[in-house]
Structure 1
Amino acid sequence: MFPPSVSVLTAPILAHALGVDGRGAVAAATAPLLLMLAAATFGIPEAATYSIARTSQVARWVILRGSLLMLISGVAVTAVVLLLSPLLSAGSDDIHHNLIIASLAITPSLIVALLRGIAMGLHQWRFVAASRGGDALFRLILIAGLALAGHLTIFSATLVIAISPLFGGLLLIPALRRVKGQLHRRDPAASFSSLTSYGVRVWFGAISGVLLLRLDQVLMNPLGGAYELGLYVVAVAISEVPLIVNSAVRDVTFASDAARADTERLTMASRLSTTATFAIAAVLAATIAWWLPVVFGRDFVGAVPIALVLLAAVTVGNPGSVAGAGLSARGRPGLRSTSLLIAAVLNTALLVSLVPLWGAMGAAIATFVGNVTASNLNIYFLNRNFNVPWKQFYAFRIGDLRVLIHATRQLLRR
């Protein structure tokens, strides 16, 4: 819950301190970083999770070989961003300068992503949560501190967003030390060919998925301007709140289903996640017209209808997100990638067509269509290849509620 909650807290601070245009400038500088972080992984963190979840004995070799792959990829992708920076900055010298600064964090952030994937494969969820929470807390403290001191600028905000994942990476180190006794055996599952084979199949889906999430912010400045981007990033921050449940369920489902496939557990996780996502989105949508002008400022009132469309988009995309984790866990990441690739192509075409006409609302509509497409294609492939009925992803059951109540009681006792 903590990282998206922090995003909700930092979004108003950035909005009030920088204004619509300034917030858009920060997004223009950091969106390529966030996009390239997904593009440059080539699915290696997911491959690490998959390999180690199946047999933890390969962790040493996954760390060594995965780190080398991430280093090579990071250097290459950083060079690409630097070459494209004049185009992405749309003629703004300030955005160009900040974009270059942010790009230098790509390589170390890739190493952090690999370490997190390893910790997930080892089921070290406490350390995974600490890493994500530490990253978010570090970002919140710095942004709030700079704002209170009157030093929160476009440059300082960009720098904080770029370096905060590195702090979260430090918190993963204890997870690796705890399994030192298991890091001793060579295994073909951790070979370069095994990692890259699985990783590339996942990567097509990962890059397609991140295109659905991030390409709109990369293209918004050249196509619609910093003002529209400023409205859009606020709407995106709001729409990410319901994903608190989805992201946690998806990650745990991937690792657990890779260790032992269980269709009933998979579909129940999807139903519970969808129900929780819908409930959170409904509360936000019903009250947004009241609190958004107060929290973000009246200059951001134009983000209200955009946020409503994006809240609908994350809700309808939830079942297919968990289904996609199931496909990857059962050794068919290529099918998930196919779903996301088709959705990304459709989303990109709509972005290019609608953003010049309707600005941020055009991007929101494109995201909604892309999410609906990807979600239902994932469920279709899971049904076709593993005989998982469609209705099991949508039909909520009384038994699900009992499981949820039992889990909540256990959590409260802890």
Structure 2
Amino acid sequence: MMVARTGSLGMGVLASVVVARALPPEGRGTYYMAVSVATAALTLGHLSVEQAQTALWSEKRRRSRLDANSVPLGLCLGGAAALVAIVLCLLFQGRGNIPDIWLLATACAGVPLGMGVLYGTNITVLRDRPQIAGWAMLGSAVAQCLCLVLLGLTGHLTVASVVIAWVLSFAASLAVLIAAGGVTVARPDLRLARTTCVKGLRLHTGSAASYLLLRSDVFLLNALAGPREVGIYTLGVTLAELSRLAVDVFAQVTLPLQFDDEAHDPALVTVRIVRFMLLLGAASAVVTVTVVSALITPVYGHAYAEAGTLVAWLVPGILLLSAGRPVSTYLLRRRSPRVLVLPSLIALVANVALNAALIPLWGAIGCAVASTVAYTALVSFQVVFFTRTSGIGWRQLLPTSAEASRVTTEVKHRWGQLHIGRVS
């Protein structure tokens, strides 16, 4: 899983370099806004079905039918969400720096495919097959990167062709999931599909708020500052999210442990996972900020130099949000949907208010500051609910110096073994 994730991110970085070198910040901003509209349709239209799948997975008799439903349900709901997005874009065309409608329609073609990948990947992980999810992710990155490189070499790299490559990456990912047996394509169970959607809708306000928390800054920045600032800011976001590599992989591969009630206490498992993720996150933050600061101008050019400062502001909030994922999973199983919905709504309101206040003053840096503050607020609320539900104090979620020393020693030991093996 780690190898696949690393390869995917490596391909993603290469793709971002190709796009940045071929398109000015304004062009990258236009591409990213088209993709953001499609991503918004995907995220706001998925009805939190993947969370409902997770909640229903405890009922073993339903697992095979949840598996069979995943891809067909994703394609159907994704098609409906894409249609709604295109209609809304037609209504607002010509306002707020919205891209051309044909470019938006092209991007929205990826919504059904992306939703199928979302549901299918979740089922694959729940079936304890993270390696297949990793290969699907890698297949998506390879497809997108190859398309961009070929287009760049032949001189056909435009905003529209970059969007098409983004759509094809979803098709590649879905094909890998199905071909490798991560999900089963079979006759769907319509009754269970309805149950899943209804259960997901109860959680969807929180999911929608969480998405808007992550991406509302881009739409506000586009409206208040224009596509150039969006192009630079979104590159900063892409590079800052590289710091999530180890943290996200660890969260995915330990997900089944949080559902193993017979062998482990889920609350204690959650605590141990969060501690280790915080250690990984701290190390990742230092490495990411240092490397990006040194390489941003030589690799991407002077036009994107400001992105290095944005990474330093974004990384703490992104890593804190990632490390809080096990807490969110625990709350999803143990409490009512409002426990997840309320913190997301509060953080979203804070994010929008801060962006509206800071963008006119500081531009993209204001976006980064607002995002980090809002992410911290969200995780803080989730931790409060976790401590009340589990009876475990919040300090127990923090790694101790002994744990940090033990992990450092183990890493050095493993690295030494690897080095000796290479020499021999």
Secondary structure of 1:131 counterpart: helix
Q: Given the alignment of the two structures, is residue 227 of structure 1 paired with residue 219 of structure 2, yes or no?
A: no
The correspondence of residues 3-402 of structure 1 with structure 2, limited to 5 A, is 3-52=8-57, 54-67=58-71, 69-86=73-90, 87=92, 90=95, 95-174=100-179, 176=181, 191-192=192-193, 194-260=195-261, 261-330=265-334, 332-396=336-400, 398-399=402-403, 402=406
Query: Counterpart amino acid of 2:153?
Result: L
> Offset at 1:11?
1.4
> Offset at 1:386?
1.4
Alpha-carbon distance change, 73 to 89 in structure 1, aligned in 2, over 3 angstroms: farther
TM-score, normalised with respect to structure 1: 0.88
What percentage of residue pairs aligned between the two structures are identical?
A: 23
Q: Is the 8 A contact 2:120 2:182 kept in 1?
A: no
What are the Cα deviations for residues 101-120 of structure 1, in whole angstroms up to 9, with x where unaligned? Answer: 10122122212211112112
Alpha-carbon distance change, 259 to 332 in structure 1, aligned in 2, over 3 angstroms: farther
> Offset at 1:322?
2.8
Secondary structure of 2:392 counterpart: coil
> Offset at 1:96?
3.1
Q: Distance in 2 between the 1:104 and 1:217 partners?
A: 21
Query: Counterpart amino acid of 1:31?
Result: S
> Offset at 1:219?
3.2
Q: Distance in 1 between the 2:281 and 2:154 partners?
A: 37
Superposed structure 1 runs of 4+ greater than 6 Å apart:
177-180, 410-413
> Offset at 1:89?
6.5
Secondary structure of 2:88 counterpart: helix
Query: Counterpart amino acid of 2:124?
Result: A
Secondary structure of 2:242 counterpart: coil
Alpha-carbon distance change, 314 to 14 in structure 1, aligned in 2, over 3 angstroms: same
Q: Distance in 2 between the 1:320 and 1:174 partners?
A: 33
> Offset at 1:357?
3.5
Q: Distance in 2 between the 1:195 and 1:264 partners?
A: 29
Q: Distance in 2 between the 1:383 and 1:110 partners?
A: 33
Query: Counterpart amino acid of 2:301?
Result: G
Secondary structure of 1:299 counterpart: helix
Q: Distance in 2 between the 1:372 and 1:84 partners?
A: 32
Aligned length: 408
Moved more, 324-333 or 87-96: 87-96
> Offset at 1:236?
0.4
Moved more, 4-13 or 61-70: 61-70
Moved more, 192-201 or 267-276: 192-201
> Offset at 1:332?
4.7
TM-score, normalised with respect to structure 2: 0.86
> Offset at 1:240?
0.2
Moved more, 112-121 or 73-82: 73-82
Moved more, 352-361 or 103-112: 352-361
> Offset at 1:341?
2.0
Q: Distance in 1 between the 2:64 and 2:323 partners?
A: 35
Q: Distance in 1 between the 2:227 and 2:244 partners?
A: 26
Alpha-carbon distance change, 89 to 62 in structure 1, aligned in 2, over 3 angstroms: farther
> Offset at 1:250?
2.9
Q: Is the 8 A contact 1:249 1:322 kept in 2?
A: no
Q: Distance in 2 between the 1:279 and 1:225 partners?
A: 34
Query: Counterpart amino acid of 2:269?
Result: R
Q: Distance in 2 between the 1:48 and 1:328 partners?
A: 11
Q: Is the 8 A contact 1:268 1:400 kept in 2?
A: no
Secondary structure of 2:107 counterpart: helix
Secondary structure of 2:400 counterpart: coil
Secondary structure of 2:128 counterpart: coil
Alpha-carbon distance change, 126 to 395 in structure 1, aligned in 2, over 3 angstroms: closer
Q: Distance in 1 between the 2:118 and 2:27 partners?
A: 29
Alpha-carbon distance change, 326 to 288 in structure 1, aligned in 2, over 3 angstroms: same
Moved more, 312-321 or 5-14: 312-321
**Structure 1 unmatched ranges of 5 or more:** none
> Offset at 1:304?
2.3
Secondary structure of 1:42 counterpart: coil
Q: Distance in 2 between the 1:383 and 1:49 partners?
A: 22
Q: Is the 8 A contact 1:89 1:222 kept in 2?
A: no
What are the Cα deviations for residues 2-38 of structure 1, in whole angstroms up to 9, with x where unaligned? Answer: 3333322221211111011111111111111112211
Q: Is the 8 A contact 1:45 1:116 kept in 2?
A: no
Alpha-carbon distance change, 177 to 225 in structure 1, aligned in 2, over 3 angstroms: closer
Q: Distance in 1 between the 2:208 and 2:93 partners?
A: 18
Query: Counterpart amino acid of 1:384?
Result: R
Q: Is the 8 A contact 1:29 1:96 kept in 2?
A: no
